[in-house]
Amino acid sequence: MLAQIRKTILQRNLIVTEKRILMAISGGADSTAMAFALHMLAPELGLELAACHLNHQIRGNAADKDAGFARNLAAQLGVPYLESSHNVPELVRTKKISLEMAAREARYSFFRRAVKQLSCGAVATGHTADDQAETFILKLARGAGTRGLSGISYRSEWDGLTLIRPILDISRDRIIAFLTEQGYEWCEDATNADTELLRNRVRHETIPFLERTLNPKIRTSIIRTTDILDTDQDWLNDLAEQAWHDLYIPPDHISPYPSLDAAKLLSQHDACKRRIIIKWIHEVGIPENRIDFDMVERTRALVATDLRPRSALLCDNKSAKLHNDRLILIDNEERKDFCIEMEVPGEYCLNDLGLMIKINESIGYSIEPVGIPGQIPASASFSADRVAGNRIVVRSRRPADRMQPIGLNGSKKLKDILIEAKLTQAQKDAVPVFEICGEIVWMPGYRIGEGWQVEDKQSKSVRISVEYVSED
């Protein structure tokens, strides 16, 4: 095992200029084995070591026992040691984030402090080959791309913190065998056997099932795949970085945030475009853990085919917008209620939403693709007989709003329709509602109301189209 760890450290260039490495010790088998192995290899690699432990205050007395074990291990190895605790459950409540995210935030904050206090250059964590395989399956199930499937990196930077993973090529079985042969003890976390936790279910059920029924060396195959993807990811990131320097526009009189040359971005391959957009979203201040696939795709759609002015919501208080051939960030204002009566035919501009509404008399109908509520541009046709000279109202959504979409028996709350579409609050507030004779008949991007459809291609109709206002 030591030979493999030495090989990983040297071949993967885990240690560049760092001479003192901070070992993150949880007390479990993985980090304990890493600590002993690095201590054995330190003289020939010319390394100094230190250790740290964070009590997350999640597991009560068991967590206190882990802290005591880590303290004693550092003393046994004769290395500088720093210990701290953080009320992670309280962080979950106050920040309204997941337990996993809160634990990571607390841990990395502690690492940054420990690195400075103990004068270390990097933090070594005890991620193993099994962690790599489990992470791959979890991300595959969530629909990750090459960025996610490339897995856990051997060396990475996180907000100024350097992280290295020297036992990433070692399986958990080899870890246990090493500790047993050397007569070393470790702490066993009882929650590791709880298959109600998703990662444990993958570890104890999914991977063993794949080994029995698909490939007995599935872990090795997955690790090989993550290694290939990681290499490809590095190359793609290099290409994106080169393009980024050509696209980047610093804050100026047009935007107080960094912006991108939209014309040049439009010409990029989608793979490169996604990476540039992810980097830009992070650059303008949105935390990496809030950047998801849908956010990136909404932004990419702005520069998919042309440079017509339009916008896409990123999160509740920020939007991406095409403006003067640039992709810029805008701060969303608080929602303003509106209600406008419109006649047939007519054109109406909703300046606050940046929308143009056109209403025309027509014959027949065209089949419009149904996307998600609020998807713009959008259009729909209604029975002219039903409209019958009545005014059409476009307004903001109200709490008690209901409609009966075509094909549905009974009505449904607009609130429920928008929740099912997984829209953010800001996206929900931006969806205009169309009403005729007091009945909600349409939301752009969604089905029209039952009973308002045009009977056939020869019948008279009223066509409503919604598009973004041109800034030409």
Sheet order of strands, 259-261 included: 248-249, 259-261, 326-331, 318-323, 311-315
The answer to whether residues 413 and 402 touch, using CB atoms and an 8 Å cutoff, is yes
Compute, in degrees rounded to 10, the torsion defined by CA atoms 237, 243, 245, 247: -130
Domain boundaries, the chain: 2-191, 250-331, 339-468
For 336-399, the DSSP string reads ---EEEE-SSEEEEETTTTEEEEEEEEES---PPP--TT-SSEEEEEEHHHHTTPPEEEE---T
**CATH number for the domain formed by residue range(s) 2-191:** 3.40.50.620
Closest CA to 149 of 159, 161, 139: 139
Q: How many Å apart are CA 48 and CA 38, to the nearest integer? A: 10
How many CB atoms neighbour CB 108 within 10 A?
A: 16
pLDDT at position 471, please?
47
Q: Give the three-state DSSP class for 427.
A: helix
Closest CA to 204 of 134, 148, 255: 134
pLDDT of the chain along its 472 residues, tens only? 999 999 999 999 999 888 899 999 999 999 999 999 999 999 999 999 999 999 999 888 889 999 999 999 999 999 999 999 999 999 888 877 778 888 888 999 999 999 999 999 999 999 999 999 999 999 999 888 888 898 899 999 887 899 999 999 999 999 999 999 999 999 988 788 888 888 999 999 999 999 999 999 999 999 999 999 999 998 999 999 999 999 999 999 888 899 999 999 999 999 999 999 999 999 998 877 678 888 898 899 889 888 888 888 887 678 899 988 999 998 876 667 889 999 999 999 887 777 889 999 999 887 666 667 888 888 999 999 999 888 899 999 998 899 999 988 889 999 999 888 877 777 788 889 999 999 999 999 899 999 999 988 899 999 999 987 654 4
In the chain, the N- to C-terminal Cα span, in Å, equals 66
For 428-464, the DSSP string reads HHT--EEEETTEEEE-TTSPPBTT-S--STTSEEEEE
pLDDT at position 44, please?
95
Q: How many Å apart are CA 448 and CA 380, to the nearest integer? A: 7
The secondary structure element, H or E, covering residue 312 is: strand 311-315
Give the up-direction half-sphere exposure of residue 61: CA atoms within 13 A in the CB hemisphere.
0
Architecture of the domain whose range is 250-331: Up-down Bundle (1.20)
Q: Angle at which helices 218-247 and 270-283 pack, to 10 degrees?
A: 70
For 52-84, the DSSP string reads EEEE-SSSTHHHHHHHHHHHHHHHHHT--EEEE
Classify residue 154 as left (phi > 0), alpha (psi -120 to 50) or beta: alpha
Q: How many Å apart are CA 434 and CA 432, to the nearest integer? A: 7
Q: Angle at which helices 293-302 and 270-283 pack, to 10 degrees?
A: 110
Classify residue 88 as left (phi > 0), alpha (psi -120 to 50) or beta: alpha
Print burial letters for 56-95: b (CB count within 10 Å at least 16), e (below 16).
Answer: bbbeeeebeebbebbbebbeebebbbbbeebebeebbeee
